[in-house]
A and B are shown apart, each in its own frame.
Chain A
């Protein structure tokens, strides 16, 4: 059972480039989340989804977009990368109906130069 899988693990982007961070989970969880972690800080919520076709903004959504076409996948899109988006990104999932414990992926370390 792989849990929550994120790709890539590391990426360097130039200012203005775009990329998609991939997240997939195999636990049939209906809730999925994207967080970012800046140095010395806790995690902040970017976007979340309560099920396929439904997404909502978190605390820090500016500069990001998401989609949720399937239960398993929840990609995060950066359209015009900025240095302020240098961070570690974590994807998570949980099952609201049965068990609200959230499980996290291993993170994607992104540097924008």
Chain B
């Protein structure tokens, strides 16, 4: 099956810093999503982005499908950004998840 690798596995930031999270995948995909899992375990949809660039407030994402990677940018990080960020991809109909990037933003 398709392989999904996320980097870095862990990240510690001071509030206000910027960061870039990366997702590499091993095959062509029809779907790519970024999720934030908050400290209460809830999965929150951030972006549905099989290709191109999207922005939502302080967050933006870019997927280069031909090179099989996606990037999630977090600017001016806040403590509420803490949690685990997952990339998930689907060659066809079911999502395969990476192991996530655990982000801790300290005040």
Option from A40, A41, A45, A90 in Cβ contact (under 8 Å) with B43: A90
B99 and A31: CB pair below 8 A? no
* B31 surroundings in chain A (CB, below 8 A): 100-102
B97 and A42: CB pair below 8 A? yes
Per the bound structure, the CA–CA distance linking A50 and B7 in Å amounts to: 32
Per the bound structure, the CA–CA distance linking A6 and B41 in Å amounts to: 14
Residue A27 CB within 8 A of the other chain: no
Task: Tell me the dominant secondary structure on chain B's binding face.
Answer: strand
Option from A43, A50, A88, A104 in Cβ contact (under 8 Å) with B93: A50
Residue B79 CB within 8 A of the other chain: no
Chain B nearest Cβ from A28, distance in angstroms: 17
Residue B42 CB within 8 A of the other chain: yes
Chain A nearest Cβ from B58, distance in angstroms: 21
Chain A nearest Cβ from B96, distance in angstroms: 8
* B93 surroundings in chain A (CB, below 8 A): 31, 48, 50, 96, 100
Task: Tell me the dominant secondary structure on chain A's binding face.
Answer: strand
A58 and B94: CB pair below 8 A? yes
Residue A74 CB within 8 A of the other chain: no
For B33, B90, B95, B97, the residue with the greatest tally of chain A CB atoms inside 10 Å of its CB is: B95
**Contacting residues of chain A (9-63) with chain B, CB-CB under 8 angstroms:** 31, 33, 35, 40-45, 48, 50, 58-59
Residue A69 CB within 8 A of the other chain: no
Chain A nearest Cβ from B6, distance in angstroms: 8
Question: Footprint of A on B, CB under 8 Å?
Answer: 1, 4, 30-31, 33, 35, 41-43, 45, 48, 86, 88, 90, 93-100
3 closest Cβ pairs, A-B complex: A42-B97, A101-B48, A104-B43
Q: Could you list 15 examples of A-B contacts with CB < 8 Å? A: A42-B100, A43-B88, A43-B97, A44-B97, A88-B41, A92-B95, A99-B48, A100-B93, A101-B33, A102-B31, A102-B95, A103-B45, A106-B41, A107-B42, A107-B43
